[in-house]
């Protein structure tokens, strides 16, 4: 027995000594992955020679790549190039490419820029640079680099694919579709068909996107994952959906509103069909009233550049007796420039306070608006609306809001300026805010992020407003914030809570300081 234990100890210590005697590279070749990683890290820490440290970091990065651990691999390649640049151009290019796969975009872009600066004829590196720029949100730079290649090689498939993807992410979907079709006409490949499907879906052609999805033939694990993601997104956009919500509103004029609503949405081919219902219970210190809205809606993309939609509804308004008012809207949107232009006509029943409901205020409105992406980071929103009120009043409402995206990805952060001018014909005593020469200047920010099942959105603002009403002039500092927090409870069930606070007169029907809280539950099936 003692002899057996002694022999076992000899075997264990012998095995350990063999492991300790093996180099990190030999451990990796022997399949001892964890031991090799530890040995490489220990060797790098104890190696005084920068070139040898760089080589070992590269080898460790290669080892991580063999396990498809690109994030850790990217860190090692960054370290290798920081110790020494004594690598061939091909090795540096491969490291930079893998760094981009691991999310180290800035470092990868820096290395690829160096390579193409040293060797402008390295078009493969330039294409990878364009691809990495697009992943990092520099879509204009990606298109510029792709065009540099295309000026020399007009039919280069990789450069065309990068450009098509960047155009799609810029919102220039129609231009991207032209390139995707050209490439698919020349031959099928997974990445082109996948990009084409997403572009079709972004343009409202879900039927075409599903046909493209059925033509995908994934051959590698990453392709199978991408195909599954596409089908999941198509599934999410086409499944029937029910949204229920509740909100409570309160302002400093003692207006209080409880609202509940339900919406059912259904995709039929490329049509989005829906039914909605909303009940409003409103009261103040003197009145209590209720109103309801329900109706049907429909929307479709008629062409790749034109979308049309509309709806019709009925709004009973009660307070002892009941009145029924027909409501409805028609709208259209057009692809113009690097964005869209939308127009719409609507007829609504105004039900934002008990007094407004008591006065049976209806509104006919005409609206035109545009959203344009001027650069990868600068966007512009503008709108004009004319409203005609049933109590013989009318209003002109103009807004413009440029914004700049500071950060892309998650969190995504933008900052902007919003100007609004609004003018009513008169003060009608209808119970709603009806100023003359209302002007506001706001600085605002939007912050959005997604992590796992959680999502969050925050939009604070601060500014100044001025207006005249009933002969009195008013100038005030204003501020407020809107926020929401969502959680995906299950694959087809999502909950969201939201809240809003502010003292901007134009944001509430009565023009006073207000707050609103609410919750929503969305279910797809």
Instruction: Report all structural domains of the chain as residue ranges with CATH numbers, in order of start.
Output: 37-232 (1.25.40.10), 239-524 (2.40.160.40)
**Residue 504 corresponds to which tokens in the numbers above?**
């901007």
> What confidence category does residue 4 fall into, taking pLDDT thresholds of 50, 70 and 90?
low
Angle, helices 221-238/190-202, rounded to nearest 10 degrees: 20
Percent of the chain with pLDDT over 70: 95
Q: What is the mean pLDDT of residues 184-191?
A: 93
Per mean pLDDT, which range of 23-27, 173-177, 220-224 is the poorest? 23-27
Q: What is the mean pLDDT of residues 467-489?
A: 95
> What confidence category does residue 212 fall into, taking pLDDT thresholds of 50, 70 and 90?
very high
With a cut of 50, say whether residue 354 has pLDDT above it. yes
Spell out a b/e string for 415-446, using b for 16 or more CB atoms within 10 Å of the CB, else e: ebebebebbbeeebebbbbbbbebbbebebbb
Say how many C-beta atoms besides its own lie within 10 A of residue 21's C-beta. 8
Q: What is the mean pLDDT of residues 88-111?
A: 95
Report the distance separating Cα 139 and Cα 175, nearest Å: 14
For residue 320, which phi and psi values (nearest 5 degrees)? 85, -80
With a cut of 60, say whether residue 2 has pLDDT above it. no
With a cut of 80, say whether residue 64 has pLDDT above it. yes
Arithmetic mean of pLDDT over the chain:
91
Find, among 519, 517, 520, the residue nearest to 249 by Cα: 517
pLDDT value at residue 319: 61
With a cut of 60, say whether residue 16 has pLDDT above it. no
> What confidence category does residue 21 fall into, taking pLDDT thresholds of 50, 70 and 90?
low
With a cut of 90, say whether residue 13 has pLDDT above it. no
Q: Which residue has the higher pLDDT, 169 or 331?
A: 331
Percent of the chain with pLDDT over 90: 74
pLDDT value at residue 46: 87
Q: Which residue has the higher pLDDT, 109 or 409?
A: 109
Dihedral angle sign, alpha carbons of residues 79, 85, 87, 89: positive
Query: Look-up: residue for tokens 């970091």?
Result: 57
> What confidence category does residue 263 fall into, taking pLDDT thresholds of 50, 70 and 90?
very high
**Residue 186 corresponds to which tokens in the numbers above?**
């020349």
Burial of 501 (0-12, 13-18, 19+ CB in 10 A): middle
Phi-psi region of 171 (alpha: psi -120 to 50; beta: other; left: phi over 0): left
Find, among 472, 458, 462, 470, the residue nearest to 500 by Cα: 458
pLDDT value at residue 100: 95
> What confidence category does residue 509 fall into, taking pLDDT thresholds of 50, 70 and 90?
confident
Q: Which residue has the higher pLDDT, 263 or 232?
A: 263
pLDDT value at residue 185: 94
Q: What is the mean pLDDT of residues 412-421?
A: 97
> What confidence category does residue 22 fall into, taking pLDDT thresholds of 50, 70 and 90?
confident
Say how many C-beta atoms besides its own lie within 10 A of residue 34's C-beta. 8
Find, among 77, 63, 75, the residue nearest to 31 by Cα: 63
Phi-psi region of 317 (alpha: psi -120 to 50; beta: other; left: phi over 0): beta
SS (H, E, C) 352-392: CCHHHHHCCCEEEEEEEEEEEECCCCEEEEEEEEEEEECCC
pLDDT value at residue 522: 95
Report the distance separating Cα 349 and Cα 314, nearest Å: 9
Q: What is the mean pLDDT of residues 124-138?
A: 94
With a cut of 50, say whether residue 9 has pLDDT above it. no
- Please give the model's pTM, rounded to 2 decimal places: 0.78
Predicted confidence (pLDDT) per residue in 299-347, tens digit? 999 988 899 999 999 999 876 556 889 999 999 999 888 889 999 999 9
Q: Looking at the DSSP assignment, which residues form a beta bridge with residue 248?
A: 258, 517
Q: What is the mean pLDDT of residues 165-180?
A: 91
């Amino acid at each position: 027995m003692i002899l057996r234990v002694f022999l076992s100890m000899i075997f264990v210590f012998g095995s350990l000594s063999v492991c300790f005697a093996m180099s990190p590279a030999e451990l990796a070749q022997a399949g001892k992955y964890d031991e090799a990683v530890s040995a490489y890290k220990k060797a790098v820490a104890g190696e005084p020679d920068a070139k040898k440290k760089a080589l070992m970091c590269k080898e460790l990065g290669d080892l991580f790549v063999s396990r498809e651990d690109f994030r850790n691999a990217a860190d090692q390649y960054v370290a290798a190039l920081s110790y020494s640049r004594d690598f061939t151009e091909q090795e540096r290019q491969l490291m930079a490419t893998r760094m981009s796969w691991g999310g180290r975009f800035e470092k990868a872009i820096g290395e690829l820029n160096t390579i193409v600066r040293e060797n402008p004829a390295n078009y493969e590196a330039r294409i990878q640079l364009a691809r990495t720029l697009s992943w990092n949100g520099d879509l204009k730079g990606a298109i510029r680099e792709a065009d540099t290649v295309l000026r020399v090689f007009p039919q280069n498939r990789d450069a065309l694919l990068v450009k098509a993807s960047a155009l799609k992410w810029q919102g220039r979907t129609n231009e991207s579709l032209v390139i995707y079709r050209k490439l698919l006409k020349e031959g099928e490949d997974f990445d082109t068909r996948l990009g084409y499907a997403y572009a079709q879906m972004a343009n409202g052609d879900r039927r075409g996107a599903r046909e493209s999805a059925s033509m995908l033939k994934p051959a590698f694990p990453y392709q199978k994952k991408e195909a599954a993601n596409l089908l999941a997104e198509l599934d999410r956009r086409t499944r029937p959906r029910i949204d229920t919500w509740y909100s409570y509103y309160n302002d400093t004029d003692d207006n209080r509103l409880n609202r509940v609503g339900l919406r059912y949405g259904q995709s039929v081919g490329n049509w989005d069909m829906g039914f909605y219902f909303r009940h409003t219970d409103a009261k103040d210190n003197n009145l209590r009233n209720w109103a309801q809205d329900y109706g049907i809606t429909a929307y479709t993309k008629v062409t790749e550049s034109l979308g049309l939609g509309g709806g019709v509804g009925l709004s009973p308004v009660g307070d002892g007796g009941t009145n029924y008012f027909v409501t409805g809207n028609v709208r259209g949107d057009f692809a113009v420039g690097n964005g869209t232009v939308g127009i719409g006509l609507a007829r609504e029943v105004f039900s934002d306070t008990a007094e407004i409901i008591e006065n049976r205020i209806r509104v006919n409105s005409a609206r035109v608006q545009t959203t344009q992406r001027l650069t990868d980071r600068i966007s512009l929103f503008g709108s004009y609306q004319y409203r005609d009120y049933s109590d013989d009043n009318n209003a002109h409402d103009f807004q413009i809001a440029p914004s700049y995206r500071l950060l892309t990805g998650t969190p995504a952060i933008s900052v902007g300026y919003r100007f609004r001018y609004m003018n009513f014909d008169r003060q009608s005593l209808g119970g709603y805010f009806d100023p003359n020469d209302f002007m506001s200047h706001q600085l605002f920010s939007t912050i959005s992020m997604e992590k796992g099942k959680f999502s969050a959105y925050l939009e604070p603002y601060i500014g100044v407003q001025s207006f005249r009403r009933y002969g009195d002039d008013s100038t005030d500092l204003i501020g407020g914030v809107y926020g929401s927090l969502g959680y995906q409870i299950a694959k087809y069930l999502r909950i969201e809570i939201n809240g809003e606070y502010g003292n901007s007169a134009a944001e509430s029907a009565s023009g006073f300081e207000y707050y609103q809280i609410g919750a929503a539950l969305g279910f797809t099936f």
